Amino acid sequence: MDIDQVLLNFNPTSLMILNIFIGFVMFGVALDLKVQDFKNAFSTPKPMLIGLFSQFVLLPAFTFLLVLAIQPRPSIALGLLLIAACPGGNLSNFMTHLAKGNTALSINMSAVATVAAIVMTPMNVMFWGSLLPETNAILRSFTINPWDMLELIVLILALPLAIGMFVKYRKPDFASRASKPMKYFSIIVFIGFVVVALINNWQYFLEFVGLVILAVFLHNLVALLSGYFAAKLFKLREPSRRAIAIEVGIQNSALGLILIFNFFDGLGGMAVVAAWWGVWHIVSGLTVAFFWSKRPPNNQDFAVNGGLKI
């Protein structure tokens, strides 16, 4: 069976429940955010802008070049392009802290990238996906309306973020108490979703995962390296290089899966790519973070008062 013809099983009720759960996850993320976080992000704009450029420009462009180089099946190629268009994942802040990176930059970049994804994710999917005849044919076959994709992202990202930040502003004590449980909840929801999707489509996963293992490995490696060396090229200090590398290398594959099931009917190659990304980037991210945790940045990377320089 051709992976480009397989539509994975995920019924509309389950999909609606998942969308609601992801909304709760984003609400939980917002309980840690304040308007001041966004102001801080641009008080020293250089590392933030480099990180966002790496996330939403370099990674999609390098993903396109990777697709040209390895020439995977069209649905796998479009899955890689879609994952590259997503913002960073929820575990990136923890991994950056473990890696002795610039955790403040990581947190600020996660917040700004999530908001930017409302526009950048559908725009990147449609732009890069339309450049290849095979992936453009998939986009046309599902009659993807970028405004519909934008509407869904607003509902599952922007609206919960706004509500969560409002709760943080009005009820800071409640937000502080609820933040940690919501983080655990978000991890459980993501793992649960991947497990349910795999169980419902286990035979397809076993049949096709071999086709995506190498592609996802190379894609994740490109993501980590592009973030790190973009930061190095612009002469950011080591802690900020680590933060940007991890932010770009840990993608929100849960958002990718939601878009795949909402707009592409769970198209086989795309869904298997996103599901395997969700597993692999945890393995690779923790491996890189543990490696860096044993190699603290040089003293010159820290300010006299103990805060990290950019």
Answer yes or no: are the C-beta atoms of 274 and 260 closer than 8 Å: yes
Cα separation, 104 vs 40, in Å, equals: 9
Say which range, 119-128, 151-160, 224-233, 249-258, has the weakest mean pLDDT.
151-160
CATH number at residue 80: 1.20.1530.20
For 82-107, the DSSP string reads HHHTS-B-TTHHHHHHHTT--HHHHH
User: Does 307 fall in a domain?
Assistant: no
User: Does 148 fall in a domain?
Assistant: yes
Report pLDDT digits (tens) over 245-254.
Answer: 999 999 888 7
Quick check: pTM over 0.85?
A: no
Cα separation, 40 vs 64, in Å, equals: 33
Torsional sign, CA 62, 51, 188, 190: negative
Residue 54 CB neighbour total at 10 angstroms: 25
The 8-class DSSP code of residue 212 comes to H
Cα separation, 154 vs 158, in Å, equals: 5
Cα separation, 10 vs 205, in Å, equals: 14
User: Does 309 fall in a domain?
Assistant: no
User: Does 59 fall in a domain?
Assistant: yes
Nearest to 38 by CA among 179, 174, 228, 168: 168
Identify the pLDDT of residue 3: 65
Q: Which domain holds residue 253?
A: 3-301
User: Does 99 fall in a domain?
Assistant: yes
| pLDDT surpasses 70 at 12 | no
User: Does 178 fall in a domain?
Assistant: yes
User: What does the longest C-alpha to C-alpha distance in the chain come to?
Assistant: 62
**Average per-residue pLDDT for the chain:** 81
Q: How many residues does the chain have?
A: 310
23: confidence class by pLDDT, cuts 50, 70, 90 = confident
Q: What is the mean pLDDT of residues 215-228?
A: 95
Report pLDDT digits (tens) over 225-260.
Answer: 999 999 999 999 999 999 999 999 998 887 888 888
User: Does 310 fall in a domain?
Assistant: no
Q: What is the mean pLDDT of residues 83-104?
A: 84
Cα separation, 103 vs 80, in Å, equals: 27
| pLDDT surpasses 50 at 61 | yes
User: Does 65 fall in a domain?
Assistant: yes
Identify the pLDDT of residue 95: 86
Answer yes or no: are the C-beta atoms of 135 and 142 closer than 8 Å: no
| pLDDT surpasses 60 at 301 | no
Specify the 3-state DSSP secondary structure of 8: coil
**Total structural domains in the chain?**
1
Cα→Cα distances 75→59, 62, 175, 295, Å: 19, 18, 41, 39
Q: What is the mean pLDDT of residues 183-187?
A: 70
